[in-house]
Chain A
């Protein structure tokens, strides 16, 4: 069955370190998204991609970057982790044609000490 996976599921890192969170989908979807979820804020969009070599900034993109070298993967990089980036991160994907339907991965809980 097609799915979307994230790794690691949990990570603890230190302030200033570079961190990369992986997202892999086997739906063959063109569109992929990264969100963060925080108490009191719900889910907020970080970056998204419409296809290979395409990336776009979302609502809360500062301090994050993404790259899309193939259809299946959209890794999220925190260049220099900050305590404010402690959160749960979700990756999602969607088809181009069916409006709005996004399918989410299980999430990565990141703690920055």
Chain B
């Protein structure tokens, strides 16, 4: 099956810093999704991307659909303590979008006081 590689695996940053993470695939995706998961909860959808080159923001979060359709990037500006969690990229297993999602293994964001 398809695999998504996320990097970095973890990030230790200071409050107020900007954060960048990315996700790459060996195959083309038609949709990229970014989720955040906090301890003891399910993943929450942050941003959905549907077109190559698309740049979409959600508050301090900005995500981009890579032009090769094999990668995506998530940036968080001016991080705050509530940004702590695990960020997952995901994409549909088929082009239609109604099948299950393939998930990356996540980037664990830790904010140091």
Contact = CB atoms under 8 A, between A and B. Distances in A.
B67 interface: no
Given A42-B104, A43-B88, A59-B1, A101 B45 contact: yes
Given A43-B88, A48-B100, A94-B98, A100 B105 contact: no
B66 interface: no
Interface string B88-110: 10111100111111011110000
Contacts of B105: 40-42
A90 B97 contact: no
B41 A106 contact: yes
Interface residues of B, number: 28
B41 to A, nearest CB: 6
A83 to B, nearest CB: 22
Contacts of B44: 104
A63 B31 CA distance: 30
Given A43-B43, A43-B88, A104-B44, A33 B31 contact: no
Nearest to B101: A102
Contacts of A99: 30-31, 50, 92, 96-98
A102 B30 contact: no
A64 interface: no
B113 interface: no
Interface of A: 31, 33, 35, 40-45, 48, 50, 58-59, 90, 92, 94, 96, 98-107
9 contacts: A40-B105, A42-B88, A42-B103, A43-B43, A94-B98, A99-B96, A100-B33, A100-B97, A107-B41
